[in-house]
Amino acid sequence: MNAMSALPALSTLPPTRSAGLDLVRIRAEFPILRQKIHGKPLVYLDNAASVQKPKAVIDAIGECYSGYYANIHRGVHLLSERSTAAYEGAREKVRAFLNAASVQEIIFTRNTTESINLVASSFGGSVVKAGDEIVITGMEHHSNIVPWQLLCERTGAVLKVAPFTDAGELILEEYERLLDSGRVKLAAFVHLSNALGTINPVKLMIELAHARGVPVLVDGAQAVPHLAVDMQALDCDFYAFSSHKIYGPSGVGVLYGKQALLEAMPPYQGGGDMIRLVTFEKTEYADLPNKFEAGTPSIAEVIGLGAALDWLTAIGLDAVAAHEHELLEYTTTQLQEIPGLNIMGMARDKAALAAFTLQGVHPHDIGTILDREGVAIRAGHHCAQPVMQRYGVPATARASFAVYNTRDEVDALVKSLWKVKELFE
């Protein structure tokens, strides 16, 4: 029990308001947060894996199915017209959210992974040849590694990896050096690392690539719930993210692509909805964005994503970012009080995420013990095994935050980590 007496003082700031946000009201919009886990209030800190859904999103999906659901783009009846309008309305909401130039640049997929695979297969398959190079970084999620490895295997191209520092920051000089080979056909990198929390200087990285004529794909899965992004300001060629990480339902992803690139690319999958005319001799493909949306999509879920973006925009990403930054600073200070705890990833520009190891305790044991305290975190390699290898650890524990998290919840995390130490000492 000696360890417990070393508990840091609890927060003195009121926990219910942060960065101008009314957290009590925000939390009330998430029905799932009201429950207890093993008799303790749920403290959900696994938001980088998937975030919980506000009632506005749950209701939007329910209203679609109970009010106006039908297949889209083909019916002459009223329900189909209403579903189509709602579905295409969601596309406009995504366009506005990303500040893309046109709705034709917004492709709905299943998730970020499928968005990246679409580019690897369609763009990569038609542009990349033997001896060409694809540049990624050392902090990529498996979903931005494996599609390129598959492409390289198919074409004889070579994957080049830009390294990062111990603090978790990309070494820009190395990235630039890789771009200089003259053989690079695409640079693909993560905006916000799910394993480290690092926010990469994507605008600069895009400029460096474009200066050498290299197009860029940005994996924005972790970034969009935390940072405002602007496609026209970034000038990136492709940007991918998932609905389920931005308060929307699972089963929907987005691929933004510049219109000229998308128009030149062959279809990814063939089927219904992506054609203009089919005969057994030849098929004419539909115009953008339908060319890349073969088959019936996740209609209600796309509409749910639209509701999520409305919800998040109404709160305001600047307020979200300010609140989460406060949480990050508080969490970092509190975690550093725990002897033997080592935070992995201390980039100067970092999102509200703390990946850590605790001396003598495997992350899985931390995860199990925290769960019994009601605290949900992720333990494992976070689908970023090369990052684990970079630091020489098999796994880390990771607490990741969303807009609804509070300082009280950080205190609950820290308190249960002291219990872990107590149990293992």
Partner 1 sequence: MSDLRDLYQEVILDHNKRPRNFRILPQSTHKADGVNPLCGDRISVYLDVEDGVIKDIAFQGAGCAISSASASLMTEALKGKPVAEVEHLFEAFHNVVTTDCECPRGLGKLSVLAGVRDYPSRVKCATLAWHAVRAALERHTEPVATE
Q: State the Cα–Cα distance between residues 41 and 235, nearest whole angstrom.
A: 44
Q: Does 361 bind partner 1 (CB under 8 A)?
A: yes
Q: Does 106 bind partner 1 (CB under 8 A)?
A: no
Q: Which amino acid is at 42?
A: L
Q: Of 157-165, 267-275, 322-330, 359-367, which segment contacts partner 1 by CB under 8 A? A: 359-367
Q: How many residues bind partner 1 (CB under 8 A)?
A: 20
Q: Does 380 bind partner 1 (CB under 8 A)?
A: yes
Q: Does 368 bind partner 1 (CB under 8 A)?
A: yes
Which string of DSSP letters, residue by residue, matches 126-148? HH--TT-EEEEETT--GGGTHHH
* Of the candidate residues 203, 212, 276, 364, the single one contacting partner 1 (CB under 8 A): 364
Q: Which amino acid is at 215?
A: P
Measured from the CB atom, the residue of 110 and 381 that comes closer to partner 1 is: 381
Q: Does 417 bind partner 1 (CB under 8 A)?
A: no
Which residue is associated with the tokens 């089919």? 278
Q: Does 379 bind partner 1 (CB under 8 A)?
A: yes
E strand spans, 229-351: 238-242, 253-257, 275-278, 283-285, 341-344
Of 151, 208, 159, give the one whose Cα is nearest residue 183.
159
Q: Which amino acid is at 418?
A: W
Q: Does 385 bind partner 1 (CB under 8 A)?
A: yes
Residues 13-42 close enough to bind partner 1 by CB under 8 A:
38
Which residue is associated with the tokens 């919840």? 409
Measured from the CB atom, the residue of 57 and 379 that comes closer to partner 1 is: 379
Interior angle at CA 147, CA 145 and CA 151, nearest 5: 115
Question: What is the smallest separation between the CB atom of 139 and partner 1, expressed in angstroms?
Answer: 17
3-state secondary structure of 84: helix
Question: What is the smallest separation between the CB atom of 381 and partner 1, expressed in angstroms?
Answer: 5
Q: Does 201 bind partner 1 (CB under 8 A)?
A: no
E strand spans, 289-425: 341-344, 353-358, 375-376, 378-380, 396-400
Measured from the CB atom, the residue of 236 and 379 that comes closer to partner 1 is: 379
Question: What is the smallest separation between the CB atom of 32 and partner 1, expressed in angstroms?
Answer: 20
Measured from the CB atom, the residue of 169 and 373 that comes closer to partner 1 is: 373
Q: How many helices (H) and strands (E) does the chain have?
A: 16, 19
Give the tokens for residue 419.
């219990």
Give the tokens for residue 366.
């931390």
Q: Does 390 bind partner 1 (CB under 8 A)?
A: no
Return left, alpha or beta for 354; rule: phi > 0 is left, psi -120 to 50 is alpha, else beta. Answer: beta
User: Which residues are paired to 278 by β-bridges?
Assistant: 283
Measured from the CB atom, the residue of 339 and 394 that comes closer to partner 1 is: 394
Question: What is the smallest separation between the CB atom of 76 and partner 1, expressed in angstroms?
Answer: 48
Q: Does 340 bind partner 1 (CB under 8 A)?
A: no
- Catalytic site residue from 64, 152, 236, 383: 383
Q: Does 196 bind partner 1 (CB under 8 A)?
A: no
Q: Does 419 bind partner 1 (CB under 8 A)?
A: yes
Of 166, 222, 225, 229, give the one whose Cα is nearest residue 195.
222
Q: Does 43 bind partner 1 (CB under 8 A)?
A: no
Is 236 among the residues known to form the active site? Answer: no
Which string of DSSP letters, residue by residue, matches 52-72? ---HHHHHHHHHIIIII---S
Q: Which residues are part of the catalytic machinery?
A: 383
Chain contacts with partner 1 (rule: CB under 8 A) = 38, 360-365, 368-369, 372, 379-381, 385, 388, 394-395, 419, 423-424
